Amino acid sequence: MTEISAGVAAVNGLRMHYLRAGSGSPVVLLHGWPQTSHCWRKVLPALAAEHTVIAPDLRGYGRTDKPGHGYDKRTMASDVAALVESLGFDRVAVVGHDRGARVGHRWALDRPEQVARLAVLDILPTREVWRRWDVEVAKRYWHWTFHLQPDLPERLVGADVAGYLGYFFERWTYNRHGLEPEAVAEYVRAFSAPGALRAGFDDYRASFPDDADADDADYAAGRRVSAPVLAVWGGSALFGVAPVLDVWRDYADDVRGEPIAECGHFLAEERPDELLAVLRPFLAGG
């Protein structure tokens, strides 16, 4: 049975909580919203059979500190970069889901020497979400603009954290049994902690203009991800008919990937075996 340990590292002025298991080449797993490192529970043990796996709670999430600043992806990427350095690693593979994939994308741009491989799960680049904004995208991503508003989301959502998060866990899933009641309860607990809602919304608030400005500057300068990129997405998830691989090839030099059939947004929980089948050869250098 895989032994998973929990740790806390003091990095970038934060106390950052993380899970660690296994040995071998290092792989960092970055969760999204509205989740924590708990989302990797079904794939972490299998990956740990071949790798040292590190799964942190990002700035503002889970058991990591929730400061009132620093939610731009450049700062959040520097958090996890400092974490892996503190653990003695200088080059890692990164697997990010949702907001965590946006952190991973920025990490690979800012520190190409540190990111050996990057897997992005169920996202398009942040710049592309804004660039493609129309009625159909707005219907799928309405929560982005809601979360951008100051103070209001905290007030409205705080009255019913379980109800709000439950909306996304139902609407964004195809295999709803993949998010078992105990997991949903853990996420509700995490986002009911003081400062947690505000921190999660601040993550979105940093998308515009901070992250958008940084992304636009990189794109204008021709900066692309040089590491191999694996893009995996749920076949029944948010994108609809977006040409995912073609989009990512405009931002990275070496892109491959595929959808997972009959899967919604939460790949690691809805279809863990299918996700592992795609991740394992990529992480092994295939």
User: Which residue is catalytic, options 17, 204, 215, 251?
Assistant: 204
Q: What angle do CA 28, 113, 49 make, to 5 degrees?
A: 30
Encoding tokens for residue 222?
């021709």
Instruction: For residue 61, indicate whether it is catalytic.
Output: no
Q: Is residue 69 annotated as a catalytic residue, yes or no?
A: no
Q: Compute the radius of gyration of the chain from its Cα atoms.
A: 17
> Taking Cα atoms as reference points, which of 194, 152, 173 lies closest to residue 68?
194
Active site residue 90: no
Beta-bridge partners for 16: 9
Would you call 122 helix, strand, or coil by DSSP? coil
Please state, in angstroms and rounded to a whole number, the distance separating the CA atoms of residues 96 and 106: 11
Question: Which one is catalytic: 31, 38, 51, 265?
Answer: 265
- Show Cβ contacts of residue 4 under 8 Å, excluding neighbours closer than 6 positions: 19, 20, 21, 44, 45, 48
Q: Choose the catalytic residue: 57, 65, 98, 202.
A: 98
The C-alpha atoms of residue 46 and residue 49 are separated, in whole angstroms, by 5
Omega into 34 within 30° of 0, i.e. cis? yes
Q: Which two tokens stand for residue 225?
A: 């991800």
Residues in the chain: 286
- Rounded to 5 degrees, φ, ψ at 236 are -120, 30
Q: Quick one: tokens of 268?
A: 């690691």
Query: Looking up tokens 């974490």, which residue turns up?
Result: 83
**Residue numbers annotated as active site:** 98, 204, 265
